[in-house]
Structure 1
Amino acid sequence: MSTEETTAPVTAFMLVKTTPEWLAMTPGERVNALATEVVPVVKARTTGVRSRFYDTEFYSARVTDVWVWEADDHHAYQLLVDALRETPFWDRWFEVVDLLVGTENGYARTYGVDAVTTITT
């Protein structure tokens, strides 16, 4: 079995709530803040991580946004969190409400079975 088959990427669902400081910024200031104060730190301190962003404030008062981070492995994820904690993202612009971290279809790899999915090809 190759390493690609045994090492699963890590996916983290980072549930956050915006802070008054973040909301006081204009949309342009927010984009600039992420581009200049968060993204460069993440790029400098990590490799093998990707992110997607979901707005949830329309449906939840407790969690306003979900950042989905995909990391090549657990070490890459750890470096990501360490990097984010050194920026205003962490607990200044966003309160990190919860972290849900897992590997897609981990049970299938553990038991050597095909993943059960509704995605058809």
Structure 2
Amino acid sequence: MPTDPTEPPVTAFMLLKTTPEWLALTVPERVHAFTTHVLPAIHARTTGVRSRFYDTEFYSARVTDVWVWEAESHYAYQLLIDALRETPFWDRYFEIVDLLVGTENGYARTYGLEPVATITA
């Protein structure tokens, strides 16, 4: 499905909690599981998405990790979620605590305003 160039990118904050099954794996086993089960599914089923991964277990017991996704369209995001749900990542290695999905500065586009942002030097 072609992407509408006027459609704003979608940002998703995927709030995760590790499961006992994931924590029982050694670090090399975790890397292997992620690189052989999760990443190939994402690469095979999606385009136009990128991500960053944050560890939060130092500060939160409810959410141990945050995976931030940027997708060029809602359709690209939908394909990503469909791909992840077909891997052990989804509800086997990680519990999906919440998905917070939005578009950056949506209010500014809606009302024809300049985005409010802070920049410090």
- With normalisation by structure 1, the TM-score equals 0.93
Alignment RMSD, CA only? Answer: 1.3
Q: 2:55 and 2:120 mapped to 1: Cα distance?
A: 27
Gaps of 5+ in 1: none
Q: 2:101 and 2:14 mapped to 1: Cα distance?
A: 8
Q: Which residue of 1 aligns with 2:37?
A: 37
Give the length in aligned residue pairs: 118
Gaps of 5+ in 2: none
Q: Which residue of 1 aligns with 2:66?
A: 66
Q: 2:120 and 2:36 mapped to 1: Cα distance?
A: 40
Q: Which residue of 1 aligns with 2:90?
A: 90
Q: 1:120 and 1:44 mapped to 2: Cα distance?
A: 40
Give structure 1 regions of 4+ aligned residues with deviation exceeding 4 angstroms.
Answer: none
Q: Which letter does structure 2 place at the counterpart of 1:17?
A: K
Q: Which residue of 1 aligns with 2:10?
A: 10
Q: Which residue of 1 aligns with 2:75?
A: 75
Q: Percent identity?
A: 77
For the residue of structure 1 that corresponds to 2:88, the secondary structure is: coil
Deviation at 1:32, TM superposition (A): 1.3
Q: 2:31 and 2:119 mapped to 1: Cα distance?
A: 34
Q: 1:9 and 1:24 mapped to 2: Cα distance?
A: 36
Q: 2:38 and 2:70 mapped to 1: Cα distance?
A: 17
Deviation at 1:120, TM superposition (A): 5.9
Deviation at 1:92, TM superposition (A): 0.1
Q: 2:57 and 2:120 mapped to 1: Cα distance?
A: 31
Does 2:118 align with 1:118?
Answer: yes
